[in-house]
């Protein structure tokens, strides 16, 4: 948001179904967060709903690639050209995912990756900022280097560096960068092991999906995703809560996901947000995430034996009741 010079009076449109970092980046600049609905099929930001919320104050749109599956970036590119607004890809969950043969995070004006401990590629904390716009890149370098033009100095473009603008220390330590370098070298192995678990879940739960008792994740044909999250949806919040209890009782680390930001305590009070987003609320209330990390590939048979059995038994019991 600093690189785009977003500030008071500006608006940035994003999904409410996202982590707080997306909104914090806007709030910290004194700008207004505008939440839009998600597509219930992919849980990604709905470009049609976004366009309804564009105003003269809209400075940027922030699509979030949920679960590593790409948003409709073609639609967002058209929206950007039509209204003259910037596209900032929240690709925190989407390292090594593609849409139409292009890596997510490289399609919009800016892409943001996360290397947090919960992500596919990790060094514990930190991330990466991607842009193909020279002016944005120049501002971002200064911001990352404590407000100095040190990067230009290191490239030999200036004979000394000094304070040239506002900034902070937004760079990885050398130790974290070394960890990340090793992770990046293993990214195909990591992706393949996650794929084994993701596809095993999908196959094991297919029968329940065909009976319309659950809804499995949808991956559009043009998307090559990174198997970051395996989730499914049930019919109601009550069913979700009961199923989570049953899975956790069997030692399966299932959980819900984001509390929509528009309905959070901060969203309702400090942001004075009174938006109604019924699709977002319904999706959030019915999502269940199953455990997924590379090490599970070694125990996928026992995991798959336990998970669908527990889900099917609990849902059959509720249906009978």
Structure tokens at 265: 């305590």
Residue 158 region by backbone torsions, left for phi larger than 0, else alpha for psi between -120 and 50, else beta? beta
β 102-103/58-61 pair status = unpaired
Residue of 52, 59, 82, 119 with catalytic role: 119
DSSP for 24-68, written as a single string: HHHHTTTPEEEEEPBPTTT-SB-HHHHHHT--TTEEEE--B-GGG
DSSP, collapsed to helix, strand or coil, labels residue 231 as strand
Please identify which residue in the block is written with the tokens 């922030």.
62
Contact predicate 200/206, CB 8 Å: no
Closest CA to 64 of 85, 50, 43: 43
Max Cα separation, the chain? 78
Length of the chain: 321
CA distance 137 to 130: 8
Contact predicate 206/310, CB 8 Å: no
CA distance 98 to 70: 7
Integer Rg of the chain from CA: 21
Structure tokens at 173: 């330590």
Please identify which residue in the block is written with the tokens 């099929």.
41
Contact predicate 121/115, CB 8 Å: yes
272 flagged as catalytic: no
Q: Which residues form the catalytic set?
A: 119
């Amino acid at each position: 948001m600093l690189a785009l010079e977003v500030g008071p009076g500006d608006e940035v449109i994003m999904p409410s179904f996202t982590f707080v970092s997306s909104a914090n980046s806007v709030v910290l600049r004194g700008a207004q967060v505008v939440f839009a609905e998600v597509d219930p099929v992919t849980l990604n930001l709905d470009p049609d709903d976004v366009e309804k919320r564009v105003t003269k104050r809209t400075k940027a749109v922030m699509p979030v690639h949920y679960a590593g599956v790409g948003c409709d970036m073609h639609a967002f590119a058209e929206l950007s050209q039509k209204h003259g607004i910037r596209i900032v890809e929240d690709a925190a969950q989407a390292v090594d995912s593609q849409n139409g043969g292009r890596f997510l995070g490289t399609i919009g004006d800016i892409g943001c990756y996360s290397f947090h401990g919960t992500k596919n590629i990790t060094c514990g904390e930190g991330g990466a900022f991607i842009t193909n716009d020279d002016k944005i890149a120049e501002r971002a370098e200064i911001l990352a280097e404590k407000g100095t033009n040190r990067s230009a100095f290191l490239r030999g473009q200036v004979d000394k560096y000094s304070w040239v603008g506002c900034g902070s220390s937004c760079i990885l330590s050398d130790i974290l960068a070394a960890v990340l370098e090793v992770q990046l070298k293993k990214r195909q192995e990591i992706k393949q092991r996650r794929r084994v678990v993701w596809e095993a879940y999908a196959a094991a739960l297919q029968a329940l999906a065909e009976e319309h008792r659950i809804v499995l994740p949808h991956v559009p044909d043009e998307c090559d995703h990174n198997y970051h999250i395996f989730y499914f949806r049930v019919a109601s919040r009550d069913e979700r809560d009961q199923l989570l209890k049953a899975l956790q009782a069997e030692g399966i680390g299932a959980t819900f996901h984001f509390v929509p930001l528009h309905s959070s305590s901060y969203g309702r009070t400090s942001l004075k947000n009174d938006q109604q987003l019924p699709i977002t609320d319904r999706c959030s209330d019915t999502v269940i995430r199953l455990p997924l990390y590379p090490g599970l590939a070694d125990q996928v048979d026992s995991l798959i034996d336990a998970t669908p059995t527990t889900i099917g038994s609990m849902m059959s019991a509720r249906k009978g009741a």
